[in-house]
Amino acid sequence: MTPTALIDREAESTRLRALAEGERPALALVHGRRRVGKTFLLSNLWPAERVLYYSASATTPAINRQTLLDEAARWSEEELRIEDHPTWRTVFRALFGLRPDHPIVIVLDEFQYLADGERGMREIASELNAVWESGPSRAAGLLVVLSGSAVRTLEALAAGGSPLYGRLDAVLPLSPFDYYDAGQMVSRYMLGDRVRAYAAFGGLPANLAVVDDGRPLKENIAELLLSPHGVVRIRVQTELDQEEGLRSTSRYRAVLASIGLGARTVGEIASIMGQQSDTALKRMIEQLEDLSYLVREVNFGASPQRGVRYRLADPATRFHHGIGLWAESAVAALGPEAAWRVRIEPEAFPSYVGRHVFEDVARQACRRWGPSRGLPAVAEWGRWSGQDRSRREVEVDIAGRQLDGTMVTGSVKFRTRPAGARTYLDHVVALERLADSGHGWAQEALDPISPFWFVSAGGFAPSFHETADPAREIVTWTLDDLYPPYPES
């Protein structure tokens, strides 16, 4: 990958370039969590001479107004004095009038820092809207991009009641890379190690960018994630401190650590933290969910209000809190390389990848490739984990309802050995036990008209195919199916 290559982001790039080439002024909003690649995207779409790029800092509105004018003056080679622009309205009017005979792009990154709180943001949005409504006086095109990592604050700019409601020509949320695009950033690795790299470093481009895929993956993990001085480890440890509006971030970190230690419900989180399952804890969990640190899950077919469980959203955060913290003593005593070799590599990491990441990879692959690669059309995938009527543990890795109403279920295995007959039979038995326990969707899944989908990193043994029901549609995927040549649609 070249330093300026854009991975994924094709739709966002196309939309922004089209707006920049339009005949009328356009206003766009781009938002996403820190290190998701907003700055890289917006810095590589157009030649530098065409773009006024300004990133606000967490100082004061007055300081940002001064530095923005200084940067605009340097870029445009026009005189812009602060005393001539005492308000944001006058600043925006000046900015939108720069180089009027040339098409330009103005990027105001970390836009939330231009204001002092929610009230200040509404005032700035109102000032911008007043200038925008009056129509920038230009002979050539203008695209203004508002960007930032305070997701809720930026989303509010597009919501009803905002001064900019209905004014935005595009609202583009940037999400972390899925497993496939993450793999493009470590493309020299074999396919299995691309899955493992995603499990360790997640989908944030900034984290993947420091991985040297010319070195063994274990060396990158030891140096970047396990070492006390590891770049990615420090980022994960400190990312909550950079979130706007969070107080006592140590308490929020404790929530993440509790989930990393195995807590899934509010009650379990409270128990590990040694506190009451009260409104304050529930509010913290909701905030972490809003900030995309947590995702909630319920068993397939269950009510969204019942049996809610939480898990860490990003694999890098999952790795740190689920494995990194658990291995801290070993790292301190043995060093990161030896701790990896002795404590993590033999069992903890393979189990983590198989149980907590590879199922996500399969679901993401369904969304990315879907029916075009032989998979039934499914609107949303889920899973089921718990006890049957006899209080025996049961798991179904993937379960979904097709668009025609029939069920599709299956199993996901991240093992080096091929999946054999037992993989198939275990899945059928799990469905039978759940059907006997009164779960109607499991009974539907046992009907031969309901296809099975199996994903196996190690491929499939002859015994698997010999055991499979010939009357049922069975889709089998290997790593080659998860990683078709890039690009492909």
Ranges 52-66, 373-387, 389-403: which has the least confidence: 373-387
Listed in sequence order, the residues at least 6 apart from 172 whose beta carbon sits closer than 8 Å to its beta carbon are 12, 15, 16, 28, 29, 30, 31
Tell me the pLDDT band of 1, cut-offs 50, 70 and 90. very low
- The segment with the largest mean pLDDT, out of 43-47, 286-290, 343-347, is 343-347
* pLDDT, position 486: 60
- Comparing CA positions, the residue from 327, 333, 374, 381 lying closest to residue 481 is 374
User: pLDDT digit string (tens) for 136-194?
Assistant: 878 889 999 999 887 778 888 888 888 998 899 999 998 899 999 999 999 999 999 99
Q: How far apart, in whole angstroms, are the C-alpha atoms of residue 408 and residue 81?
A: 65
Does the domain at 10-173 match CATH 3.30.380.10? Answer given as no
Residue 183 CA to its chain's centroid (Å):
14
Tell me the pLDDT band of 354, cut-offs 50, 70 and 90. very high
Q: How far apart, in whole angstroms, are the C-alpha atoms of residue 1 and residue 452?
A: 37
Average pLDDT over residues 90-102: 94
User: pLDDT digit string (tens) for 108-147?
Assistant: 999 989 988 878 889 999 999 999 998 887 888 999 999 9
Give the mean pLDDT of the chain.
91
Structure tokens at 417: 């050995």
* pLDDT, position 248: 86
The CATH architecture to which 358-482 belongs is 3-Layer(aba) Sandwich (3.40)
Region(s) of the chain under CATH 1.10.10.10: 180-354
Average pLDDT over residues 69-80: 94
Average pLDDT over residues 239-249: 81
Region(s) of the chain under CATH 3.40.50.300: 10-173
What's the predicted TM-score (pTM) here?
A: 0.86
> 180-354 has which fold?
Arc Repressor Mutant, subunit A (1.10.10)
Q: What is the DSSP string of 82-146?
A: GGG--SHHHHHHHHHTSSTTS-EEEEEETGGGGSSHHHHHHHHHHHHHHHHHH----SS-EEEEE
* pLDDT, position 4: 45
More confident residue, 487 or 170: 170
* Model confidence at 3: pLDDT above 50: no
- Comparing CA positions, the residue from 170, 180, 174 lying closest to residue 36 is 174
Instruction: Work out whether the CA dihedral 403, 409, 414, 418 comes out positive or negative.
Output: negative
Tell me the pLDDT band of 487, cut-offs 50, 70 and 90. low
Strand partners, 356: none
DSSP annotation of 307 reads S
More confident residue, 452 or 245: 452
Q: What percent of the chain has pLDDT over 70?
A: 98
The continuous run of DSSP H or E covering 444 comes out as: helix 440-446
